[in-house]
Amino acid sequence: MSIEIRDLTKRFGSFTALDDVSLEISEGSLTALLGPSGSGKSTLLRIVAGLERPDSGEVLLSGEDATGLAPQRRDVGFVFQHYAAFKHMTVRQNVGFALTIRKRPKQEVRERVDELLELVQLQGFGDRYPSKLSGGQRQRMALARALAAKPRVLLLDEPFGALDARVRAELRDWLRRLHEEVHVTTVFVTHDQEEAMEVADRVAVLDHGRVEQVGAPAELYDAPASEFVLRFVGDAVQLGPRLVRPHEVVLKRWPSDGAVEVEVERIAVLGADARVDLADGDGARLTARLRRDDLDDLDLSRGEIVWATAEPFRGLPPEPSTGDSEAGKSLGRLGGHVDAVDLGAARPSTTEVDERLDVQPVSLEDRLDAPVRPVPHPAGDAAQLSRPFDAEAEADPLD
């Protein structure tokens, strides 16, 4: 069933939850309503479900006006953040509720409930009460319950918000797969941009009761329609007059047109990527996200002055080169050691190692040697207390 939202406005007292919102959701799609708290996303969902009445505007379900229709006549399934389990009923009774009140024959109810319990992997839990289920199980029960009467729309209000990270990730995948199987028009509300990007085909970004942008996840990221979307979907940094993504920042050792002079404050290696914290002349901080190869080629160290520009990210591989890239790889492996240290307790020492490795004018031979050379490893062995001091002693002169 398609959903059409036309000029919806909803106020709670002096607070405007929705301000002239229009949105179209096509049949069979999986749409996320994304926004910070107070953006109106839940109110919008609740109006679609009929749990809230708009002050003005219309909701059309399958092209028919449903604005004044009671929730029980809308043929929607709704899943609440806090499950809204019927506590006095068993899992079976919960799941079968929609069919029981429709006075379907017992046999039919039993079969459909069995089918749904299997779908949500709760076979064997049918006779339990919801209080005996975990959060993830309760939410799956709520999903099964919402699907029981074969609704034409499935609406989920922050469905994974109350669950811990692991279960949340599991249920996200599961929802995605469920949608591929059942193909019911699905709309879910979330404040988690990662969740929206990961699960949905289309994302509508809301802020202050207005729709900021609607599009596929990649569109929102690559072509944000407003500063708000840019900031809210993915990270953003202020580079001179421009707002860019951290991975779009390009650092160079020489000035160029429009480049901003910045000082390197910190370098953190994060596996295949590295994060470089920078400060411009006014002390404003920004972050650049570099590929490890690029970082190694730049050979940066703390306190150095570089020039930052921004180029649209195209995901191109680094230019192929000869010996230098070999060296980069080797150093990369060395960096791998450092990275392991980074995870350890001796954080301050890590920077020093970074510094030493990066600042020291290393010859090509040295670099190639690096992996086989016994690395003075500051926190490699916590028992050897003298080691960090050795490393420090080595690094100090370079300051």
Partner 1 sequence: MLKRLGLRSVALGYLVVVLLAPLAMVFYRTFQNGLEPVWQALSDPNTIHAFKITLYATAVAVPVNTVFGVLCALAIVRRRFRGKGLLNAFIDLPLAVSPVVVGLSLYLLYSPRSGWFGTRLSEHGIQVLFAFPAIVLATIFVSVPFVAREVIPTLRELGREQEQAAATLGANRWQRFWRITLPSIRWAVIYGVVLTTARCLGEYGAVAVVSGRIEGQTETATLRVEDYLLNFNDSGAYAVSLVLATIAVVVLVLMTLIKPKEESY
Q: Is the dihedral of CA 37, 38, 41, 45 positive or negative?
A: positive
Q: Which residues contact 113 (CB under 8 A, 6 or more apart)?
A: 92, 95, 96, 99, 126, 148
CA nearest 352: which of 308, 396, 294, 307?
396
Residues 144-183 that bind partner 1 (CB under 8 A): 145-146, 148-149, 155
Q: Which of 101, 218 has the CB closer to partner 1?
A: 101
Q: Which of 96, 332 has the CB closer to partner 1?
A: 96
Examine residue 129 and tell whether it contacts partner 1 (CB under 8 A).
yes
Task: Work out the number of other CB atoms within 10 angstroms of the CB of residue 201.
Answer: 15
Answer for the pair 90, 54: CB distance below 8 angstroms, yes or no. no
Judged by CB under 8 A, the stretch of 107-115, 124-132, 273-281, 360-368 that binds partner 1 is: 124-132
H or E element at residue 147: helix 135-147
Cβ at position 310, least distance to partner 1 in Å: 46
Cβ at position 89, least distance to partner 1 in Å: 8
Answer for the pair 9, 156: CB distance below 8 angstroms, yes or no. no
Judged by CB under 8 A, the stretch of 20-28, 85-93, 241-249, 387-395 that binds partner 1 is: 85-93
CA nearest 140: which of 103, 101, 186, 91?
91
Cβ at position 59, least distance to partner 1 in Å: 14
Cβ at position 41, least distance to partner 1 in Å: 17
From 23, 61, 98, 203, residue interacting with partner 1 (rule: CB under 8 A)? 98
Cβ at position 293, least distance to partner 1 in Å: 52
For 224, 244, 246, the CA distances from 234, given in Å and listed in that order, are: 10, 10, 9
Cβ at position 71, least distance to partner 1 in Å: 4
Long-range contacts of 276-281 (CB under 8 A, 24+ apart): 276/251, 276/300, 278/251, 278/306, 278/308, 280/240, 280/308
Please give the Cα distance from 246 to 234 (Å, whole number): 9
Cβ at position 87, least distance to partner 1 in Å: 7
Judged by CB under 8 A, the stretch of 97-105, 175-183, 201-209, 237-245 that binds partner 1 is: 97-105
Please give the Cα distance from 219 to 225 (Å, whole number): 9
Q: How many residues bind partner 1 (CB under 8 A)?
A: 31
| CA angle centred on 276, ends 270 and 280, rounded to 5° | 165
Residues 310-369 that bind partner 1 (CB under 8 A): none
From 53, 102, 150, 373, residue interacting with partner 1 (rule: CB under 8 A)? 102
Residues 42-81 that bind partner 1 (CB under 8 A): 49-51, 70-72, 74, 76-78, 80
Cβ at position 387, least distance to partner 1 in Å: 51
Q: Which of 97, 313 has the CB closer to partner 1?
A: 97
Examine residue 97 and tell whether it contacts partner 1 (CB under 8 A).
yes
Q: Which of 35, 77 has the CB closer to partner 1?
A: 77
Answer for the pair 172, 198: CB distance below 8 angstroms, yes or no. yes
Name the β-bridge partners of 58.
6
Cβ at position 130, least distance to partner 1 in Å: 8
Examine residue 131 and tell whether it contacts partner 1 (CB under 8 A).
yes
Residues that bind partner 1 (CB under 8 A): 49-51, 70-72, 74, 76-78, 80, 82, 84-88, 97-98, 101-102, 129-132, 142, 145-146, 148-149, 155
